[in-house]
Structures are given as structure tokens and as C-alpha cells.
């Protein structure tokens, strides 16, 4: 089937009825241009957070299956409303849940991975000339249990559908005009990027640029799905995310990111013996928890401290797992620190240039910002610092690397 376009509208684009009507008009305009349009929608505004808030009023460790049942309702509301809005404007549309259109996932509730998409139903409806609207962020496992794809997961739904439908383009509509050198809400003169590579976008997203979900970029890169991140409130061209092009290497640092959603966990007084680090991280991996930065301190009298960061949402689970484990390995205890932020600079140009780290540390030092942890990869450098210094650090780095308008 030719001429298929997938458009994803984030929660900020469907925050109220007026915005839903705006999206309906936009979708119809593409239909009128001759496209077969598949629309993926997120829950209205902050609905997902509000649903989680409701759950936390009952318990601080809800069964993850039930969390998925709860969270998936958000998207079901928005698809139905958008379909009604499109009908009101005289066009035919049909809304579906993830399970209805065959988005099959594994069983890891709240962060499920898509295994397969059987898009026959979507194709049939497109053939009939309908606009197809799919609930983002959700699927079902082999037992028809409802699952969700991790926060920001509607991006993943859009990429997966673009792939199976062999869409011409996958457009991600949001409340900013594209991907910027840093969060435009933090730095006023942040610059919109015309294009960037999957690799850079993946790093930026993983490091806190919430404009797209990291996992969705990984998938888009793997299958070479062209993405266009743009505003649902204007017609302006946004940011294209594509394969690396040579000129991209000329730019040293492409962007600066801030992540305030991680906590530092320290296992104190770990006997300094081979194999213990492996056991600690095996224990954590067993709980399906991703660890980010890791540092092991210098050993004192045969004991050492091991620190690492996890996303705040996984903190409770991590501490619970470590509680009894620490006794088993005869470590002294576990502490945590939620008052941290991670600031990073990203760019594929770093591969072939040196001096980025020095420049970064110097810019932070000039603001008297202390660095707690450091990690690097080929195309990024991250520093952990105090949470209340996060925005100031971003502004300092954005300026030091000359990224502003």
C-alpha cells in the first residue's frame, strides 16, 4: 500500500478539546493531500501522571499488571475523542487500542518490548478510506494481558507502525518546533536543529531530552525509519532525524541535556574481593532494573564503596533488592541520594576532536559547580552534580560550546 504516513501526537498536543479539534483538522488536511493517514495518540495532557498519582494513593508498590491496566486507559480516551472530532468534520475515522491492532509485546509490564505487529486490521481500514487512530504506549502479550511500553512509549508505537506499514514518513508532533540544542524551556536562546543523526538523538533522549523516547529512536535507527519532529501548533518544518551525514561530524557538540530523574545508590563497605561487583549488578539486573553510571571508590582496609545511578522510579525496588543482599555479601549497608542531576554534552564530532571534557569541566568550575560522578562514551560526556545546580550547569555549557542562536 502506497503513500502511508504515520503521525504521532503527544499528550501536550491533545491536552484539551480545542487541541483535539486542532489535531483533527491537521490530520484531515493530510488525508485531503492524498495520504493514507495512521495517527498515534498519547493520553490527554498529564493524564498518565494523574493515573499514577491515583494508584500511589492506594499503595506504593502496585502490581505492575494492574498499573498497565490503569495507564492504558489514558490513551483509550484520546483515540475515541479524536475519532469523534474527525467525524464531526465529516471524515471517516476509526479508533483502536494497541491490542486491537495486533501490537504484540513481551510480558515485562510497564516497560514491555514490541515483538510483532500484525497490521492487517489497519490495512483493511485504510483500504476503506478511513483515517486509522491507534492508542499509543500500549500493546498486549501473548495471553492478551495489556502491557505498556515505558514512559513516552507512544513514540515507540509510531515507529513500530511506520515500520510494518512501510510508511513514507513518521512524523512526531509535539509542543515545540523540533529538537533543540537543549530544552528550550531551560535555555531561552536554544537553537532548533535542522537535522541530527539517530545516534545523537538516541544519546540525547537517553540522557534526558524528553522530546522523544530513547527506545523509539533505537528502533527507528535500526530499521532506518525517517523521523520528523515538529510542532502540532504550526506548519513549520521541524527536525529530521536520519542516518549520519558527513557534515554532521564538523559540529563538535550538538546538544546539552539535563536529567533530574535519577538517584544515586551506594553500597557501603563492600569487601574488596573479585566477583562482588558482578553479584551486586546481577542482583539488580534480576529485577529488570537498568543501571546507569557506576563508580567504585578506592579501597580502604579491604573495603570499598560502590555507587551507581538508577531512574527514580526504580529506586524503591533497587533498595528492596539490596536490603537482604547486602547482608549476604557482608557489606555494611546501602544509602541513596535523590538530590542529584546529570548534565551531558552530546555530539558525533567528539569522536574526532579532543578537549571537550576539559572545556566542559572548566565551564562548570567557572560557575563553582562541583562534579560528583563522570562518565563518557564516544559521543557524550556526562557529569552528576547537585540537583539545584542542574539548570545553571546547562546554561553554562550551552554558552561555553557556542550553541545559542
401 interacts with, out of Mg ion, ligand ADP, ligand ASP, none, CB within 5 to 8 A per kind: none
Tell me which of 5, 6, 9, 10 binds Mg ion, using CB under 5 A.
10
User: Which part of the chain contacts ligand ASP (CB under 6 A), choosing from 146-154, 240-248, 329-337, 358-366?
Assistant: 146-154
Closer to ligand ASP by CB, 74 or 255: give it. Answer: 74
User: Which part of the chain contacts ligand ADP (CB under 6 A), choosing from 11-19, 25-33, 82-90, 349-357?
Assistant: 11-19
Is 152 among the residues that bind Mg ion (CB under 5 A)?
A: yes
Tell me how far CA of residue 343 lies from CA of 67, 185, 196, 204, in angstroms: 31, 15, 20, 11
Q: Give the three cell numbers for residue 14.
A: 491533545
Q: How far is the CB of 118 from ligand ADP (least distance, A)?
A: 26
State CA 330 to chain mean position distance: 37
DSSP string, 131-180: EEEEETTEEE-TT--EEE-STTTHHHHHHHHHHHTT-SEEEEEESSSS-B
Q: Starting from the edge strand earliest in sequence, which strands make up the sheet with 294-296, in order?
A: 294-296, 303-311, 262-271, 333-337
Contact flags string 64-103 toward ligand ASP, x per CB under 6 A: ----------x-----------------------------
User: Which part of the chain contacts ligand ADP (CB under 6 A), choosing from 79-87, 142-150, 208-216, 396-404?
Assistant: 208-216
Per CB under 6 A, contacts with ligand ADP among 229-288 are 255
Residue 402 DSSP label:
T
68 interacts with, out of Mg ion, ligand ADP, ligand ASP, none, CB within 5 to 8 A per kind: none
Tell me which of 31, 111, 151, 215 binds ligand ASP, using CB under 6 A.
151
Closer to ligand ASP by CB, 52 or 293: give it. Answer: 52
Half-sphere exposure of 119 (CA within 13 A, CB side): 23
Q: Give the three cell numbers for residue 194.
A: 535542522
Closer to ligand ASP by CB, 138 or 307: give it. Answer: 138
Closer to ligand ADP by CB, 184 or 372: give it. Answer: 184
Half-sphere exposure of 263 (CA within 13 A, CB side): 17
- Does residue 251 come out as left (phi exceeding 0), alpha (psi in the -120 to 50 range) or beta? beta
Closer to ligand ASP by CB, 153 or 347: give it. Answer: 153
Closer to Mg ion by CB, 11 or 139: give it. Answer: 11
Contact flags string 146-165 toward ligand ADP, x per CB under 6 A: ------x-------------
Tell me which of 75, 125, 183, 262 binds ligand ADP, using CB under 6 A.
183
User: Which part of the chain contacts ligand ADP (CB under 6 A), choosing from 22-30, 179-187, 214-222, 353-361?
Assistant: 179-187
DSSP string, 366-392: HTTPPP-EEEEETTEEEEEEEGGGHHH
Is 152 among the residues that bind ligand ASP (CB under 6 A)?
A: yes
Alpha-helix residue ranges (DSSP H) falling in 89-137: 120-127
Look at the block and give the residue holding cell 546547562: 394
Alpha-helix residue ranges (DSSP H) falling in 226-303: 276-286
Alpha-helix residue ranges (DSSP H) falling in 267-355: 276-286, 315-328
Q: Can you name the residues that pair with 171 across neighbouring β-strands? A: 7, 228
Kindly list the residues in this chain that would bind ligand ADP in the complex (CB under 6 A): 10-13, 42, 152, 174-176, 179-180, 182-185, 209-211, 255
Interacting residue ranges for ligand ASP, rule: CB under 6 A: 10-11, 42-43, 48, 74, 136-137, 151-155
Amino acid at each position: 500500500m502506497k503513500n502511508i504516513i504515520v503521525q504521532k501526537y503527544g499528550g501536550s498536543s491533545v491536552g484539551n478539546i480545542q487541541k483535539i479539534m486542532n489535531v483533527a483538522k491537521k490530520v484531515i488536511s493530510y488525508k485531503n493531500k492524498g495520504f493514507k493517514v495512521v495517527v498515534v495518540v498519547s493520553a490527554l495532557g498529564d493524564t498518565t501522571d494523574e493515573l499514577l498519582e491515583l494508584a500511589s494513593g492506594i499503595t506504593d508498590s502496585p502490581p505492575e499488571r494492574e498499573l498497565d491496566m490503569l495507564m492504558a486507559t489514558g490513551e483509550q480516551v484520546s483515540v475515541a475523542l479524536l475519532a469523534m472530532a474527525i467525524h464531526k468534520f465529516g471524515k471517516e475515522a476509526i479508533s483502536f487500542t494497541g491490542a486491537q491492532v495486533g501490537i504484540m509485546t513481551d510480558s515485562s509490564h510497564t516497560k514491555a518490548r514490541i515483538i510483532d505487529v500484525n497490521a492487517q486490521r489497519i490495512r483493511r481500514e485504510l483500504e476503506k478510506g478511513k483515517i486509522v487512530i491507534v492508542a499509543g504506549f500500549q500493546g498486549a502479550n501473548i495471553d492478551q494481558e495489556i502491557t505498556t511500553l515505558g514512559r513516552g512509549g507512544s513514540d515507540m508505537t509510531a515507529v513500530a507502525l511506520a515500520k510494518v506499514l512501510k510508511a513514507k514518513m513518521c512524523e512526531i508532533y509535539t509542543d515545540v518546533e523540533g529538537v533543540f540544542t537543549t530544552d528550550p524551556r531551560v535555555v531561552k536562546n536554544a537553537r532548533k536543529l535542522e537535522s541530527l543523526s539517530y545516534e545523537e538523538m538516541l544519546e540525547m533522549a537517553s540522557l534526558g531530552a524528553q522530546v522523544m523516547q530513547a527506545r523509539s529512536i533505537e528502533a527507528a535507527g535500526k530499521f532506518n525509519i525517517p523521523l520528523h519532529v515538529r510542532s502540532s501548533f504550526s506548519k513549520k518544518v521541524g527536525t529530521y532525524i536520519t542516518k549520519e551525514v558527513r557534515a554532521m561530524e564538523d559540529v563538535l557538540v550538538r546538544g546539552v541535556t539535563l536529567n533530574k530523574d535519577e538517584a544515586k545508590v551506594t553500597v557501603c563497605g563492600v569487601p574488596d574481593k573479585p566477583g562482588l561487583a558482578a553479584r551486586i549488578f546481577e542482583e539488580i539486573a534480576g529485577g529488570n532494573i537498568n543501571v546507569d553510571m557506576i563508580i567504585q571508590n578506592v579501597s580502604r582496609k579491604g573495603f570499598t564503596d560502590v555507587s551507581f545511578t538508577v531512574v527514580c522510579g526504580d529506586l524503591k525496588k533497587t533498595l528492596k533488592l539490596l536490603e537482604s543482599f547486602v547482608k549476604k555479601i557482608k557489606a555494611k549497608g546501602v544509602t541513596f541520594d535523590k538530590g542529584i542531576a546529570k548534565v551531558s554534552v552530546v555530539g558525533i564530532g567528539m569522536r574526532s576532536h579532543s578537549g571537550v571534557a576539559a572545556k566542559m569541566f572548566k565551564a562548570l568550575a567557572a560557575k563553582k559547580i562541583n562534579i560528583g560522578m563522570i562518565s563518557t562514551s564516544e559521543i557524550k560526556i556526562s557529569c552528576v552534580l547537585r540537583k539545584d545546580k542542574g539548570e545553571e550547569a546547562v546554561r553554562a555549557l550551552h554558552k561555553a560550546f557556542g550553541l545559542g542562536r
